[in-house]
Structure 1
Amino acid sequence: MSLLVISDLTLRIAGRTLLDGASLSVDPGRKIGLVGRNGAGKSTLLAAIAGDIAPDGGTITLSSRARMARIRQEAPSGDANLLDTVLAGDLERTTLLAESERTTDPARLADIHERLRAIGADSAPSRAATILSGLGFDAAAQARPVSDFSGGWRMRVALATALFLNPDLLLLDEPTNHLDLEATIWLESWLARFSGAALIVSHDRGLLDRSVDAIAHLDQRRLSLTPGGYDEFVRIRTEQALQQARAAERIAAQRAHMQSFVDRFRAKATKARQAQARVKALEKLPVIEAVVEDTPTRFAFPEPTPLPPPMLTLDRVSVGYDGKPILSNLSLRLDMEDRIALLGANGNGKSTFAKLIAGRLAPLSGTANHNPRLRVGYFAQHQAEELVPDETPVAHMARAMPKAPPTAVRAQLARFGLDADRADTVTRDLSGGEKARLLLALATRDAPHLLILDEPTNHLDLDAREALIRALAEFEGAVLLISHDPHLVELVADRLWLVGDGTVRPFDGDMAEYRVWLSERARAASRPATTPTAPKREDRRDRAEARKAVAPLRKKARDAEARIGKLTAERARLETRLADPALYATGSAEDVTAINTRLAAIGREEAAAEEEWLLAEAAIEEASAQD
């Protein structure tokens, strides 16, 4: 029996229809990612499921006695500490505990204690503390009042409260927006263990690949369900789009052929009957809508002029605020070809390090040498607060590029998808994603040699995130990235630097190994330091050697996977050519033969690459099991 059933749902906001006859069924324990373009109505749908707004048509039915939880839109506040705030989210437990203090009826008291045992009231503080710890709050932070924390951290408390309730149905709307990479990884593992159902709106591709088992796509006011994670959704949708396009082309060709016959012979009496038959045949041809895609999102960074190495060096640098160092003993170097991601929990100093590299924060001690011709582009989400609400993007960019002609100003905005309409819209009316595009345009206006990106994807949708990844792949300069998006880090960064313990040092491994490292550290932290099982220096050295031994296997698996991706893309291009009528009209038989020959070769190369990938993954798994 389904936990949630949405049937023929219609939702309208301000006279605009967002959903029309949409249906979806969510079974117990199933986790579904909800995707769709910005403004399609994803958050509105969650609000309707939660009962915040009434449907304009259709029904939303939640199974009786099922418990539902969602992140509150407003951040919690008050003088209660974090742990008590999360515990208070369980209204039943709170009410029962209060009643147990007041009641004098022995029978009622017995019932209350029985119910408290049933809902695990005794273990609730431990569960709440574990969740808060996973989201970045240590024991000291959990004892502090909510009012001590900024809005982003308080939204983490709201997320912790929703997770703590352990509901039958969990509604999450962009749950990673206020998380760092470490908390995002923890949330993915929590969702993997969560026994309830979840409906998750997210632009985090990694989360949608690792934490859901189906994708619900909200498109053209309807919902369609695709099994698997986001990668599988993209693959299936691409294949469907290709098949639909081919069918549309075939039917268009049939229509054109029949219509030409009708046009030529309609007036001829001897052909009139045939012409009428063709007209009827035309009417019977199915109408296949072409695949309607939104305008593709494209970003393009200006290309910097070459810069001789070194671009930047740090020699025993300390940096901080008010004379107090946050990071010390920094001896590092950056060059044009570097693509570096900073790892470490929020509060460890990642943004402080970024400001040092950008030249916005002077060293307290040590030496920082910048190439005198170095241009740095710096992007940070907080810069959105510095935008002038009554000014347009054109006005912002014109002020930043005072010597540039209007065409160059608009061209820089167009690099990041701000077309004429959006470029002339006042900033207060821009979406979060559009403001992020404006900030990217402003940060790169001087064709910087070094791009520093501090959480660049917080307000970008999935298409815009992929566009950013493609643009960074083509960018010829250096990149220093801070992001909670593992997918972005994996595809952009060649090296990882770990910010923690008051310094910055290279991390010898990839994101998969970083996940393992985080897991090992969490297990070590949960064990008393005096127990025999506490990690020893020899254990750490053994694990480091094991990771080093596995590194070549991981590289072999990544290379094989990349080769499979290239072959798949080449196969799609060749199959598209074979489906093109122009090939047969203007090409030769040799061309068709050559394409088919190459397709056969691709099949063999794909099989070899897949076998190499499987062997490497099996070897990695075996080595990990031995470790």
Structure 2
Amino acid sequence: MSLLTITDLTLRIAGRTLLDNASLSVDPGRKVGLVGRNGAGKSTLLAAIAGDIAPDGGSITLSNRASMGRVKQETPSGEQSLIDTVLEGHLERASLLHEAENTTDPTRLADVHERLLAIDAHSAPARAAAILSGLGFDNDAQQRPVSSFSGGWRMRVALATALFLNPDLLLLDEPTNHLDIEATIWLEGWLKNFSGAAIIVSHDRSLLDNVVDSIAHLDKGKLSLTPGGYEEFVRIRTEQALQQNRAAERLAAQRAHMQSFVDRFRAKATKARQAQARLKALERLPQIESVIEDVPTRFSFPEPAPLPPPMLTMNKVSVGYDGRAVLKNLSLRLDLDDRIALLGQNGRGKSTFAKLLAGRLAPMSGTMEHSPKLRIGYFAQHQSDELVLTETPIDHMARAMPEATPVAVRGQLARFGLDAARAESRVGDLSGGEKARLLLALATRDAPHLLLLDEPTNHLDLDARDALIRALSEFEGAVVLISHDSHLVESVADRLWLVEDGTISPFEGDMDAYRAWLIERARRANAEANPRAEGETGAKKDARRDRAETRRAQAPLRKEARAAEHLLTQLGEERAKLEARLADPALYEKGDTAEITRINTRLAALTAQESAAEERWLAAEAELEAANSD
């Protein structure tokens, strides 16, 4: 049975039809990547599934008692700590805990505790802390108030809350946009192990290839489902388009041949019957249109002038803010053919280094030398806040290129797909992806030798990301890249630099090696938190690992035994209270026969519940004993 069923769905926004009788079915546990061009309606569809938007036609049905989680649009705020914010995001748990502290009804109290056991409430703080840690918050940060973090970090808290709910259906809209590459890699692993279903809108190819098991393509108002990740989707779609075009070509040739016969012999009496038959056959031929692909996205960077090496050198440079160094003793060199990606968690200094290279920050100490002819192009996502919303891209580019002709101004915008209509639109009316294109056009207007890209793909769709990769592969200058997009890093960079512990050093290896390094670092951190485990070696370590595996295998049995034992305790406490009530002479003096009957009925029910709980406990203990005796 499907978890989510979308049937003949129609959605309209501001008079524009985004979905037109579209249908989709999502089974329990399935991970679906929702893709489509910017503006196709992906986020609107998620909003409709969540119940924020009423359909204009058709239906959206979630199976009975299924839970749904999504990242809220408004970021959390206030003085509450991160860990408490995530914990209170689980409304049922918070409500049950409050009720457990305040209810005086023993029957209800037993039900509450049984439900708390069912949702694994006792382990909630540890699970919430693990999720926050994976998203980049250490133990100290988890205790700080939400208000002390910037908007991007608060979005991580909102994401952590959605993951913590562990719902039957998880809706994620560009979940990696505010993550660094380390948190993105962690999120991929979490989603792989997530037992529920998920619909994920993302332009991150690595996420779509490594996590989802099918791709839902939203195109021209319809939804089509293709098995596999994004790479498989592209392969199947390309093959289908080729087959459809071949069929259309064959049909067109057949139609032309038949029409030729009709035209030649329609007027001849001897051929009139055959011509009439051909006309009827021509009418019965199916209509197969050739697949006309959207105009492919193209980016191109101006070619920089030659520059003798070295392009830029640093000698023991330190840089930071307000007298505090973020990066120290940097002795590095950049040349025109360098393609470098910066790795490291957010807050370690990657963007600070980019600002240093761009001249936005001056060295606190040390020396930087570069050719006087060096031109640098700097793209940072926060620059979109500096755009004037009431002006057009042409206004911005003309101001940035005061000596350029109108043709040259439009030509620079066209390099990044901003055609005449979009170039003349108000910036406030542009999509996030179109603003990113404008920022790329502005950053490269002087044909830079060095291109600094700080998260350039956050608002670019998959086609635009591929266009950026192609353009960078043809670019003749140097590139320093900061990105959470593993596919972009692997496609562009040939050198990796790690920003860690206040310095920058080469990382030997590729992105797979970096993922392995992150896993090993996490393992070492866990070992340091438990020194006794670190000191064990050889047979002791193997034995400990075997015991750990045994404990993991037996965990469901132990959990079942604890739950049954806890329930027996709760039922016993309720029984004692009811029996004490029955033994109270005042009950009989009042002559309240209805109350006496209710108590006796509940005692009979308790006997059955206790018997069932005891059977559960005995069965679990027997299996544990048998397993431990093997």
User: Offset of 1:266 from its aligned partner?
Assistant: 2.5
**Whole-Å separation in 2 of the counterparts to 1:530 and 1:24:** 48
- Structure 2 residue aligned with 1:53: 53
Distance 1:530 1:103, change over 3 A: closer
Describe how 1:218-367 pairs up with structure 2 within 5 A. 218-367=218-367
User: Offset of 1:533 from its aligned partner?
Assistant: 4.2
- Structure 2 residue aligned with 1:593: none
The normalised TM-score by structure 1 is 0.84
Q: Which secondary structure state, in structure 2, belongs to the residue aligned with residue 377 of structure 1? A: strand
Q: What amino acid maps onto 1:257 in structure 2?
A: H
Distance 1:148 1:272, change over 3 A: same
User: Offset of 1:91 from its aligned partner?
Assistant: 0.6
**Whole-Å separation in 2 of the counterparts to 1:446 and 1:71:** 40
> More displaced, 150-159 or 267-276?
267-276
User: Offset of 1:101 from its aligned partner?
Assistant: 1.5
Q: What amino acid maps onto 1:177 in structure 2?
A: N
- For residues 530-581 of structure 1, the C-alpha deviation after alignment (integer angstroms, 9 at most, x for no partner) is 6254399xxxxxxxxxxxxxxxxxxxxxxxxxxxxxxxxxxxxxxxxxxxxx
- Structure 1 residue aligned with 2:92: 92
**Whole-Å separation in 2 of the counterparts to 1:215 and 1:384:** 31
- For residues 485-522 of structure 1, the C-alpha deviation after alignment (integer angstroms, 9 at most, x for no partner) is 00000000000000010000000010001000111111
- For residues 395-451 of structure 1, the C-alpha deviation after alignment (integer angstroms, 9 at most, x for no partner) is 110111111111011000000000000000011111000000000000000110110
Q: What amino acid maps onto 1:428 in structure 2?
A: G
- Structure 1 residue aligned with 2:510: 510
User: Offset of 1:265 from its aligned partner?
Assistant: 2.7
Q: What amino acid maps onto 2:54 in structure 1?
A: A
User: Offset of 1:208 from its aligned partner?
Assistant: 0.3
- Structure 2 residue aligned with 1:567: none
2:15 paired with 1:15: yes
Q: Which secondary structure state, in structure 2, belongs to the residue aligned with residue 534 of structure 1? A: helix
Q: What amino acid maps onto 2:89 in structure 1?
A: G
User: Offset of 1:283 from its aligned partner?
Assistant: 1.1
**Whole-Å separation in 2 of the counterparts to 1:389 and 1:449:** 30
Q: What amino acid maps onto 1:326 in structure 2?
A: V
Distance 1:273 1:530, change over 3 A: closer
- For residues 3-24 of structure 1, the C-alpha deviation after alignment (integer angstroms, 9 at most, x for no partner) is 1111111112222211122111
**Whole-Å separation in 2 of the counterparts to 1:385 and 1:156:** 21
2:408 paired with 1:412: no
- Structure 2 residue aligned with 1:531: 531
Question: Is the 1:311–1:374 Cα contact (8 Å) retained in structure 2?
Answer: yes
Q: What amino acid maps onto 1:113 in structure 2?
A: H
Q: What amino acid maps onto 1:342 in structure 2?
A: L
**Whole-Å separation in 1 of the counterparts to 2:366 and 2:312:** 14
Q: What amino acid maps onto 2:171 in structure 1?
A: L
Question: Is the 1:524–1:535 Cα contact (8 Å) retained in structure 2?
Answer: no
- Structure 2 residue aligned with 1:114: 114
**Whole-Å separation in 2 of the counterparts to 1:347 and 1:292:** 46
2:142 paired with 1:142: yes
**Whole-Å separation in 2 of the counterparts to 1:74 and 1:360:** 31
Question: Is the 1:8–1:22 Cα contact (8 Å) retained in structure 2?
Answer: yes
Q: Which secondary structure state, in structure 2, belongs to the residue aligned with residue 123 of structure 1? A: helix
**Structural RMSD (CA):** 1.3
Q: What amino acid maps onto 1:462 in structure 2?
A: L
**Whole-Å separation in 2 of the counterparts to 1:474 and 1:220:** 32
Q: Which secondary structure state, in structure 2, belongs to the residue aligned with residue 422 of structure 1? A: helix
**Whole-Å separation in 1 of the counterparts to 2:448 and 2:91:** 53
Distance 1:169 1:530, change over 3 A: closer
Describe how 1:421-570 pairs up with structure 2 within 5 A. 421-529=421-529, 531-534=531-534
2:207 paired with 1:207: yes
The normalised TM-score by structure 2 is 0.84
- Structure 2 residue aligned with 1:25: 25
**Whole-Å separation in 2 of the counterparts to 1:274 and 1:405:** 65
User: Offset of 1:238 from its aligned partner?
Assistant: 0.4
- Structure 1 residue aligned with 2:374: 374
**Whole-Å separation in 1 of the counterparts to 2:463 and 2:219:** 14
- For residues 351-395 of structure 1, the C-alpha deviation after alignment (integer angstroms, 9 at most, x for no partner) is 000011112211111111111111100000011011111111011
Q: Which secondary structure state, in structure 2, belongs to the residue aligned with residue 378 of structure 1? A: strand
**Whole-Å separation in 1 of the counterparts to 2:62 and 2:115:** 23
5+ residue gaps, structure 1, are 537-627
How many residue pairs match? The answer is 536
**Whole-Å separation in 1 of the counterparts to 2:123 and 2:51:** 30
**Whole-Å separation in 2 of the counterparts to 1:281 and 1:327:** 77
**Whole-Å separation in 2 of the counterparts to 1:475 and 1:272:** 65
User: Offset of 1:216 from its aligned partner?
Assistant: 0.6
Q: What amino acid maps onto 1:383 in structure 2?
A: Q
Q: What amino acid maps onto 2:53 in structure 1?
A: I
User: Offset of 1:272 from its aligned partner?
Assistant: 2.3
**Whole-Å separation in 2 of the counterparts to 1:67 and 1:529:** 36
User: Offset of 1:235 from its aligned partner?
Assistant: 0.3
User: Offset of 1:117 from its aligned partner?
Assistant: 1.4
Q: Which secondary structure state, in structure 1, belongs to the residue aligned with residue 10 of structure 2? A: strand
- Structure 1 residue aligned with 2:154: 154
**Whole-Å separation in 2 of the counterparts to 1:481 and 1:272:** 72
- For residues 278-316 of structure 1, the C-alpha deviation after alignment (integer angstroms, 9 at most, x for no partner) is 221211111112213222100000011111110001111
- Structure 2 residue aligned with 1:104: 104
> More displaced, 283-292 or 194-203?
283-292
Distance 1:535 1:50, change over 3 A: farther
**Whole-Å separation in 2 of the counterparts to 1:275 and 1:403:** 68
**Whole-Å separation in 2 of the counterparts to 1:336 and 1:269:** 78
Q: Which secondary structure state, in structure 2, belongs to the residue aligned with residue 92 of structure 1? A: helix
Q: What amino acid maps onto 2:425 in structure 1?
A: T
Structure 1 residue runs of 4+, over 4 Å off?
none
- For residues 42-100 of structure 1, the C-alpha deviation after alignment (integer angstroms, 9 at most, x for no partner) is 11111111111121222211111111101101111111111111001111110011111
Question: Is the 1:317–1:330 Cα contact (8 Å) retained in structure 2?
Answer: yes
Q: Which secondary structure state, in structure 2, belongs to the residue aligned with residue 305 of structure 1? A: coil
User: Offset of 1:268 from its aligned partner?
Assistant: 2.8
Q: What amino acid maps onto 1:478 in structure 2?
A: A
**Whole-Å separation in 2 of the counterparts to 1:418 and 1:278:** 49
> More displaced, 266-275 or 354-363?
266-275
User: Offset of 1:274 from its aligned partner?
Assistant: 2.3
- For residues 305-348 of structure 1, the C-alpha deviation after alignment (integer angstroms, 9 at most, x for no partner) is 11111000111110011121100010111001100000001100
Question: Is the 1:302–1:447 Cα contact (8 Å) retained in structure 2?
Answer: yes
**Whole-Å separation in 2 of the counterparts to 1:230 and 1:458:** 18
**Whole-Å separation in 2 of the counterparts to 1:277 and 1:301:** 59
**Whole-Å separation in 1 of the counterparts to 2:246 and 2:216:** 25
Question: Is the 1:356–1:363 Cα contact (8 Å) retained in structure 2?
Answer: yes
Q: What amino acid maps onto 1:63 in structure 2?
A: S
- Structure 2 residue aligned with 1:130: 130
Q: What amino acid maps onto 1:293 in structure 2?
A: E
**Whole-Å separation in 1 of the counterparts to 2:409 and 2:257:** 48
Distance 1:535 1:488, change over 3 A: farther
> More displaced, 249-258 or 128-137?
249-258
User: Offset of 1:271 from its aligned partner?
Assistant: 2.6
Q: Which secondary structure state, in structure 1, belongs to the residue aligned with residue 121 of structure 2? A: coil
Q: Which secondary structure state, in structure 2, belongs to the residue aligned with residue 17 of structure 1? A: strand
5+ residue gaps, structure 2, are 537-630
**Whole-Å separation in 2 of the counterparts to 1:367 and 1:529:** 40
